[in-house]
Structures are given as C-alpha cells and as structure tokens.
Chains A and B, each alone.
Chain A
Amino acid sequence: MSPRRSLGIAAAGVAAAGYIAFLTCIYTGMRDVMRTSGGFCANGGPYVIAHQCSSGDVRLVVFGILGILVCGAVFAAATGWLDGSVLGSGLAMWTALFGALGWNFIDLGLSPPHGMHGSGGWIVSGVVFWLMALGGLAGALALLAGWIRRGGRPEEPEFAVTPLVRANVPGSPGAFT
C-alpha cells in the first residue's frame, strides 16, 4: 500500500473516531438538558431565566458541535483523497447524527422524565429526525449499490466531452475539402 493511501486510511479512521466521540458528547449534553430542564435552558442576559444551563452541558454541546464539524470535514477530505465518495461519507455522517439525536427525542418522548407532561412534541421531533436520517441512509445505500454494480470502477461521466474545434486533416473521415 502506498504511503499516500496509508495516510488517507489512517486519517479516515482517526476522524471517524473523533466524529463519533464528539457526537457522543452532543448526545449526552442534549439528553441531560432534556432530563433536567425539560429540553431548553439559557444563560446570561438581563432577564430571569427559569432553566439555567449547567456549564457541563454547555461544554458538551459546544465542543461536540465544533468537534463533529472538524472531524466530519477531515473524514470527508480523507475519503476524497482516497478517491472515495465524499457524498457517501457525508450521507453516512448525516445518518449517524440525526439517527442518534432522533433516538434521544423518541426515547425520552416515550418515557419522559419524572414530573414532565406533554412530551408529544419530542416524539414528533424524533420522527422528523429519523425521517431525515432515513433519507441520508437511503442515499448512502444507493451510492453503495451503484458502486457494487460497477464492480468498484469509477462512475462514467454523464456528459461526453467532444471537442468543439478540430483540425481539418485532408483525407480523414468528415474532413472539409
């Protein structure tokens, strides 16, 4: 295996680990806010805030979002560097993100925290998140199926590139006389 390929695969592995690690942080922070504050909280400003965000939840969500953006970009770039499908890797990350966060909505919507009433909105949000995840999964699977059908060969270009200006070679087919 060439050094370029080894480096690309290593970068993809590290970025995938980082992406899932930071996604776990977002998942944990979101779940904590839903359990302790009914799903919303705020910090700062001149008004009295009913649900103060804990500094831990703020750290989890902020570092989590920044982390998945950076790791997601590195993962897609490494996949592209290996001549893989950037779109496919992006769709896989999309599916993981909305699938995991959708599970939080569905799970806590079906068994809400003690003392909480009316969690129907969470179930609706969870269904919407899972539909979005399903869209990403369908796209990723379609790309995978196409790749398997082609036997791993790159996709044919959709438009054939024909030259607009050609040399007039006397005697050749289609030559001007």
Chain B
Amino acid sequence: MSRAAAVIWFAISLAGSGAGLALGHVLAQALK
C-alpha cells in the first residue's frame, strides 16, 4: 500500500470508528 493510500485508509477507518461509536450507542439502546 502506498503512503497516500495508507493515510486515506487510516483516516477513513478512524472516521468510521467514530461514527461506529455513535451508531453503537443507538444500536445498543435499540437492542436493550
């Protein structure tokens, strides 16, 4: 993986993780 692709991969994964944290709280409330 090139440097540019790795940086984009990392940034998108990090942003996805942040969104996942918010989504997880909503999902947990819905499943509870």
Interface residues, chain A, with chain B CB atoms under 8 Å away: 5, 8-10, 12-25, 28-29, 32, 56-57, 59-60, 63, 75, 79, 82-84, 147, 151-152
Contacts and interface: CB of A to CB of B under 8 A. Distances in A.
A9 B32 CA distance: 32
Given A24-B25, A56-B32, A59-B31, A17 B16 contact: yes
Mostly helix, strand, loop or mixed at chain B's interface? helix
B3 A12 contact: no
Contact of B24 (A8, A13, A22, A57): A22
Interface of B: 1-3, 5-6, 8-9, 12-17, 19-21, 23-25, 27-28, 31-32
Contacts of A17: 16-17, 19-20, 23
Contacts of B25: 24, 28
B6 to A, nearest CB: 7
Contact of A18 (B1, B9, B20, B31): B20
A35 B21 CA distance: 21
Given A12-B9, A20-B20, 17 more contacts: A5-B5, A12-B16, A16-B12, A16-B14, A17-B19, A20-B17, A21-B20, A24-B23, A24-B24, A25-B24, A56-B31, A59-B31, A59-B32, A60-B32, A63-B31, A82-B9, A84-B6
